[in-house]
Chains A and B, each alone.
Chain A
Amino acid sequence: MSEEAVMTHLRLDPDNVGEQDAESLLEAIKGDVRYEEVIHGCLNCGVCSGSCPSHRFFDYSPRIVVQTVLSGDAQAVKDMMDEYIWACAQCYTCAMRCPFHNSPGGLVMIMREVAVWRGMEAVHRLLKPYGRVLLKVLSIGNQLTPDMIQPDFFPDWGPKIPWSSTDLAIKRKAIPVYTLQVTTSAWRVSPQTSYELYTIYEETGVFRLIEQIDPNLYEVVSDMVEDLRDTIESSR
């Protein structure tokens, strides 16, 4: 493990997608400005894993994540980023209980971000079922919309789901709050708001990241972005 001070960063460069050397991944994790806050040391006491919902169901332990990162074994850390850390439910019970004030959940979040922004192989598989959410969040900033609740996607949610998706427009209209009387977004989002959101995504590398890791999705999104920009700019 390098003893040199790591340069801290606020975010990763999406143009470094593909840089997956184990040492550079560990360096990226340790360089995150939040790293110093999420990990201080470790007493190996087991409070985090004892509190952890995923520890009960998966081969996953926040204690092992912390210990592995602290060990400085870059290859072991990289192996974890492939699948292991994606079991975390991000509930932050570990962070609330850790006697060292570590945040194992926060550490996992940094590792996930690095895994995605470096385009690690497993990420493509992990993100696949996420496409619909990503499309919504990138285009309007909502993560869930009424029209996403469809029986095809949620057959396990039971016999009332078809009710929810039939005559949706009318049922949404029957919600007595004007902004909610829509189906393709969670509420009416003004075009100006989406326009501003696109600037944020552009300036923070999010669009560029999506372009690199999911070109098909990016194509759909960029069409929507262009249309909206044209509309807004021509109305000025």
Chain B
Amino acid sequence: MSTSVMVIGAGPAGLQAASTLSHLGFDVTVVEQQQYLGGAVARHQYQVLMPDFSSGPELLRHLIERVNEDPHIKIYTGTSVEDVSESRDIFSITLSGAHAETIQSHAVVLATGFDHFNPARDGKYGYGIFPDVITGAELEEMFAKGPIRRPSNGEVPQSVAFIYCVGSRDRQVGNTYCSRVCCAVSAKQSIELREQLPKARISMFYMDVRTYGLWEDSLYWRSQEEAGVVYVKGRIAEVTEQHGRPVLKGEDTLVRGPFEWPFDLIVLAAGMEPSRGTHDMAKKFQVSLESHGFIKQAHTIHNASLTDHPGVFVAGAASGPKAIEDSIAEGDVASLAVFDYLKAKVTL
């Protein structure tokens, strides 16, 4: 009999897992609640990826073509997991939506990803009140669709500020963790912005700049050296509006003390939170969450994909904030862990 594995979520981690699982000899069903494949990369239409400025659409084409062309992979978009039961190590999974059927799976990979923190939950940023305050994801959409303009009046911004750690590292909003990628993504975006706005003032307001490992010079230094981006150490206290322009209020903790600074466009580096799908699936498949609400890795160091429920594996941002490159790597890690788990039970 064939051995089937279900992958839930069709972002970079899930698509990679599906392809690798198929290469390892499994029949794979990919269940995705949206109508499209590619997860956050597709949703926000990332054109240029952190860290290497490679093409987002090209990455998606690569990931999607592989699963589309693979006869052992069934793609169920517009489909959700309704109900799960388990008997003798086999999951019976009832689906709803475009493919309302019940599927037997020997193992499941949860690749349910993240949602961006909604800055409207933290009133001090004025997001949703002042039109020129946008999120980093919205900036990606602007990059995709056309020239950068101020949402309030359609004018070319002469000054742009990035605010770091929005919704991250902040007990006041309930997220005490670092979202890991926003510093580097903001640096990448500032370099891209410079191409469009050769004369604009671009300022980054940070508490720490966390451009890990090889991202340090390739993003953080480069943004200063090549793009003339200015970094100010000080977490923004509040955003208000003066004469139709957002004003940032804060303390330059190293140099100039208190400031009030108007900008034409404010980009909020909104952090990552466990997606709603991650929470729902954790509940349905009875896997534990860690204290921040992501799926708990049973052996964080030993193997990134193990949950505390045998037969259920995790890959990508469902288990914590991470970059696309790490999510894709975890798609492979989870596939190998599934292989390890099933090889003792069934003949391939």
Contact = CB atoms under 8 A, between A and B. Distances in A.
A43 B171 CA distance: 12
* Size bin of chain B's contact surface: 20 to 34
Interface in A40-98: 43-47, 49-52, 55-56, 61, 63, 93, 96-98
B171 A100 contact: yes
Contact of B237 (A44, A50, A100): A50
Contacts of B235: 43, 45-47, 50, 99
Contact of B258 (A43, A56, A93): A56
A140 to B, nearest CB: 39
A98 B172 contact: yes
Interface string B190-223: 0000000000000000010000000000000000
B169 A46 contact: no
Nearest to A61: B251
A208 interface: no
A43 B253 CA distance: 11
Contacts of B172: 96-99, 101
A47 B250 contact: yes
B169 A55 contact: no
Contacts of A101: 171-172
Contacts of B170: 99
Which size class do A's interface residues fall under? 20 to 34
A45 B234 contact: yes
A214 B99 CA distance: 82
A24 to B, nearest CB: 31
Nearest to A102: B171
B251 A63 contact: yes
B171 A50 contact: no
A232 B165 CA distance: 61
A55 B258 contact: yes
Contacts, number: 65
Interface string B111-148: 00000000000001000000000000000000000000
Contacts of A51: 237-238, 249
Interface in A8-53: 43-47, 49-52
A51 B258 CA distance: 9
Given A99-B171, A101-B171, A46 B249 contact: no
A185 to B, nearest CB: 40
A46 B234 contact: yes
B324 to A, nearest CB: 27
Interface in B144-186: 165, 169-172
B71 interface: no
Nearest to A47: B235
Nearest to B207: A45
B282 interface: no
Nearest to A40: B171
A46 B171 contact: no
Contacts of B253: 44-46, 49, 63
Nearest to B170: A99
Contacts of B257: 55
Q: Which of B207, B249, B258 has the most CB of A within 10 A?
A: B258
A93 to B, nearest CB: 8
A45 B259 CA distance: 14
Contact of A97 (B165, B237, B252, B258): B237
Contact of A50 (B165, B169, B249): B249
B74 interface: no
B251 A50 contact: yes
Interface in A88-118: 93, 96-101
A95 B250 CA distance: 15
A93 B258 CA distance: 15
B250 A50 contact: yes
B254 to A, nearest CB: 9
B239 to A, nearest CB: 11
A49 B251 contact: yes
A99 B170 CA distance: 4
A49 B233 CA distance: 13
A102 to B, nearest CB: 9
Nearest to A64: B253
Contact of A46 (B124, B238, B251): B251
B237 to A, nearest CB: 3
B236 interface: yes
Interface string B27-56: 000000000000000000000000000000
A63 B233 CA distance: 13
A49 B169 contact: no
B248 to A, nearest CB: 9
A201 B88 CA distance: 72
A38 to B, nearest CB: 14
A91 to B, nearest CB: 12
13 contacts: A43-B169, A45-B235, A46-B235, A46-B237, A46-B253, A49-B251, A50-B238, A51-B237, A51-B238, A51-B249, A63-B251, A97-B237, A99-B170
Given A52-B258, A55-B258, 12 more contacts: A43-B235, A45-B234, A45-B235, A46-B207, A46-B233, A49-B258, A50-B234, A50-B237, A56-B258, A99-B171, A99-B235, A101-B171
User: 3 smallest A-B Cβ distances: which pairs?
Assistant: A50-B237, A50-B250, A45-B235
Interface of A: 43-47, 49-52, 55-56, 61, 63, 93, 96-101
